[in-house]
Amino acid sequence: MQISSVSLSYPYINYSNLNFKGSSKKPITDKKYEKAVKYFNKEEEKDKTGFLHRLTYYNLKKLDGIQKGIEVFDGLSMKDINFLSNGTFILLNRGCKNNCTHCAYSAGSFNRKDGKLNKMSFEDYQSLIQGANELEKRLNGKAHVFDDLTLFLDSDCIDIEIEDKNGKKYDIIDCIKEAGKEKFGMPRTVLLDTSGWPVNNKKSQQRAEKIVSYLLEDDGSKKVRQFNISINPYHGIYAKAKELESEGKQSKAEKLKELYAKRMANVLFTFSPALETKNKINIIQRYVNGKYTERDDLHELYEIQDKVKNELEKMYDEDLNSSQKIVKTEADKQKYMAKWEGKLNISPKDNAISPFGRAEKLFDKKHSTSNTRKLKAAFHAIIHDYSYFYKVINTNGKVYMLEKDIAIPTNVSLNFENKDKKTRPVSIETKRYKFNYKG
């Protein structure tokens, strides 16, 4: 439902002045294109360091027209393109196998046959990247379109796989390579994340090893900002163990805890060579802290850490005494163990999770924030400055703004071949409001 105005009674703010009317754009004429090129050619480079080559530093009204003929941006103004081109999540896949109880974006299941567009087509992804590249070429490298990308929101990078029309499959590394192609100036960087994979899953193991090799290459070291490994008591396997424990099924619960420890030890073992990269590997450990709820899961995290370290040490010993795939000497083992120890050291305050998405269920009711309250807070933030919101490009090209776990639909949409296909909701997607960016 599209509405023409909103009025939310948030303290001190009158929302009734916000205009939510749709805008229609005229086709770009040759004259408009030439005028935009002329304007831009006269402009000085705004940031000579090359770090902040933002479109936003230019007069976007005068620049409008330079995007003429770039099909994926058909119907978008330069203001719209600027709007979606920083802090961008491109959702290649929708859905996740990990089923975490703390998932802020309430990820649905992976590979669900629900008739929805759960994968971006490779052609649409390519048209977006190539469109951005073409625009950057026209901007002579003086401004960037997409600096930092994240190619997931509610999925795990190990499982990401999109397809082209001929059925050829592309994993996350193929997609990163595509994202950086023909880039002017600074590399376009991406963030990666995993919660692990089943130890015996050969395909996932090979993918993980491919990521490690890529991180060690020059190209990967430039394009991957960070690789996050997520360890917590809320992964589906560990959460199930806790459930069994509460039912008094101790031995079954222990088996699942062991399974989770082995899974995460295998992730650390596999990524050991990547510890040689400069600050690329990061461990994210989340827990609900006792300040906001009866439960305090920090001790669970410490229990997991101990189990993972034990299993990891066993894996290093086994490797040292057999194939020496990763560990060739006792010194290698000590070096890696010390590095992981350092990364597993956590500051409890910084790792506490917030009551967003599915994580809300982990908190006492009185500390949960209702969707309406979060939505009001989101609008509060919008009217102050929406340019620094995260933008989410869904599998069908529709653009959302993300405020915490609330996804607010916008009137900005890419000209994808799948633009009319239905998708799952993005996180907690509000159906009541639509933000019309006045480009």
The nearer residue to ligand SF4, 64 or 154, going by C-beta atoms, is 154
Q: Is 156 in the site for ligand SF4 (CB under 6 A)?
A: yes
Coil, helix or strand at residue 398 = strand
Q: Is 407 in the site for ligand SF4 (CB under 6 A)?
A: no
Q: Is 150 in the site for ligand SF4 (CB under 6 A)?
A: no
What tokens appear for 290 in the block? 């006792």
By CB under 6 A, which span of 40-48, 97-105, 112-120, 184-192 interacts with ligand SF4?
97-105
Q: Is 103 in the site for ligand SF4 (CB under 6 A)?
A: yes
**Biggest CA-to-CA distance, the chain:** 75
Q: Is 426 in the site for ligand SF4 (CB under 6 A)?
A: no
By CB under 6 A, which span of 95-103, 126-134, 314-322, 429-437 interacts with ligand SF4?
95-103
The nearer residue to ligand SF4, 145 or 192, going by C-beta atoms, is 192
Q: Which amino acid is at 437?
A: Y
Site for ligand SF4 in 250-279 (CB under 6 A): none
The nearer residue to ligand SF4, 266 or 436, going by C-beta atoms, is 266
Binds ligand SF4 by CB under 6 A, chosen from 64, 124, 154, 297: 154
Alpha helices in 272-399 (DSSP H): 298-320, 330-344, 371-384
Site for ligand SF4 in 219-248 (CB under 6 A): none
- State in angstroms the smallest separation of the CB of 33 from ligand SF4: 42
Q: Which amino acid is at 132?
A: A
By CB under 6 A, which span of 81-89, 100-108, 257-265, 362-370 interacts with ligand SF4?
100-108
Nearest to 361 by CA among 156, 110, 103: 103
- State in angstroms the smallest separation of the CB of 97 from ligand SF4: 7
Dihedral angle computed from the Cα positions of residues 107, 112, 117 and 121, in that order, rounded to the nearest 10 degrees: 100
Residues 184-213 as x/- pattern, contact with ligand SF4 by CB under 6 A? -----------x------------------
Nearest to 319 by CA among 310, 308, 335, 332: 332
Binds ligand SF4 by CB under 6 A, chosen from 28, 36, 107, 261: 107
Residue 429 to residue 13: CA distance in whole angstroms: 23
Nearest to 204 by CA among 234, 172, 228: 172
- State in angstroms the smallest separation of the CB of 47 from ligand SF4: 34
From residue 96, how far is each of 155, 195, 199, 294, 366 by CA, in Å? 4, 10, 17, 29, 29
Q: Which positions ≥6 away from 103 have C-beta within 8 Å?
A: 96, 154, 234, 357, 358, 359
What tokens appear for 426 in the block? 């993005």
Contact 379, 401 (CB under 8 A): no
- State in angstroms the smallest separation of the CB of 99 from ligand SF4: 6
Binds ligand SF4 by CB under 6 A, chosen from 63, 81, 100, 301: 100
Which residues form the interface with ligand SF4 (CB under 6 A)?
A: 96, 98-100, 103, 107, 154-156, 195
